[in-house]
Amino acid sequence: MPWVTGDLPGIGGSYKFCPEDFLVDEIPLYPACGRGEHLYLQLEKRGLTTHELLRQLAACFNLQLRDIGYAGLKDAQAVTRQWVSVPARCERLLPRLEQLPVKLLASTRHDNKLRLGHLAGNRFRLRVRQPQPHARQKADLILQRLEKQGVPNHFGEQRYGLLGNSHRLGQLLLNAEYTDFCHEYIGDPERIEHRDWREAAQHFRAGELEAALQRLPARMMNEKNLLTLLIQGRSARAAVLSLPNPLLRLYLSALQSWLFDQLLRQRLPELGRLQAGDLALKHVNGACFLVEDATREQARADLFEISPTAPLFGSKLKLAGQAPGERERELLTRIGLTPESWKLGDGLTMTGERRPLRVPISAFSTREIGPDLQLDFCLPRGSYATSVLHEIMKPERAEVLPLWPETAENC
């Protein structure tokens, strides 16, 4: 895999032996004003997804999920500190938080409910276990290069689910291939490590739906509901569309992410090099503009004021011009999609947006802890710490399935 820092050796090692190896702290977009109808809570959690946290908070405070605001999603396999908002009337119920596997770090009030995206970024503290010799010196050189050239803004393998196939599910949904969606959703037995789940998938592939339903782990409620509808004689379309809209949108978003990652790889290692026809993003406000004279605008890119973008494809998205736009259209055509493909209706339409190919890294430092190396840095919202880790460690690329077997070499 090409890297931004491909000429600098990686440090190897491993990470995430335990949640404490991966610490994430949200950087708020704005300070709370200290008054208002919404109570902001800073919570520390470990081994818990954000959605699981929200469900537990709703039960704890007798709220609907829609009553709770949050700024971003956080990994379960980490120690994370994030802000949520609840109605101010919950303030008297804060002692109930002692019943939950979370720690209350701070509370304050604000006029508005916290919304998704209302954060400036995240502060990370990561621990790389047993890296190669001279790891700190190597990491420092890589971080200095990333400060100048930017961090690749790819999504990476964590975006594609446990089986590496979330983007495939998005493609099948867009193409209304509901029977194939069901097979992909239950999973390929050869890729499933969990014994009961693997056996359920084997039964499903053999057409033994009742046996598959009995073997699915209890926590896989969506999969169980889908199988139940199929057993009742409902169509594959009805079974698939019975899944929660947020879950289906997650698969569509995974497809957007996979396509973005393909376009990003085409621009490595010079992600800051503008091309005529690019739609460049202004980092100060997120606005995009068409690059007509790449030579003239390159000085701004060298100062990290602007960066080229690639699409998260959707029905209303503006594509780039000239050579960058040709690559975007060619990729869509290769997998049989058009912008209109994303107009599904029923709450599933994806309108699309532009995403920068690189993001700035700040406040970075390294520290040796015995045989391990600690990394501290900040990234803007929507970007992933694993992008930094991959540049520093240079591990073998994790497997993410191609959309179809015949696209493996092309994508």
By annotation, the residues acting in catalysis are 75
Residue 95, judged by CB atoms within 10 A of its CB (0-12, 13-18, 19+), counts as exposed
Strands 22-28 vs 119-128: parallel, antiparallel or unpaired? antiparallel
Among all chains, which residue has been given the structure tokens 């600098």?
8
Closest CA to 123 of 249, 6, 22, 262: 22
Can the peptide bond before residue 269 be classed as cis, meaning omega within 30 degrees of 0? yes
CB 197 within 8 A of CB 217: yes
Query: Token pair for residue 365?
Result: 């430092």
Among all chains, which residue has been given the structure tokens 């003239």?
296
Query: Token pair for residue 143?
Result: 């971080």
Question: Degrees (nearest 5) of the Cα angle 33, 34, 37?
Answer: 95
Strands 119-128 vs 353-356: parallel, antiparallel or unpaired? unpaired
Torsion on CA atoms 406, 342, 160, 272, rounded to nearest 10: 90
In angstroms, rounded to a whole number, what is the distance separating the alpha carbons of residues 201 and 216?
8
Which residues neighbour 188 within 8 Å (Cβ) at sequence distance 6 or greater? 163, 165, 201
Residue type, 324: P
β-sheet with 306-312: strand ranges across: 288-290, 279-282, 306-312, 353-356
How far CA 359 is from CA of 89, 149, 254, 256, 356, in Å, comes to 39, 9, 20, 18, 7
Element of type H or E holding 205: helix 195-205
Strands 306-312 vs 353-356: parallel, antiparallel or unpaired? antiparallel
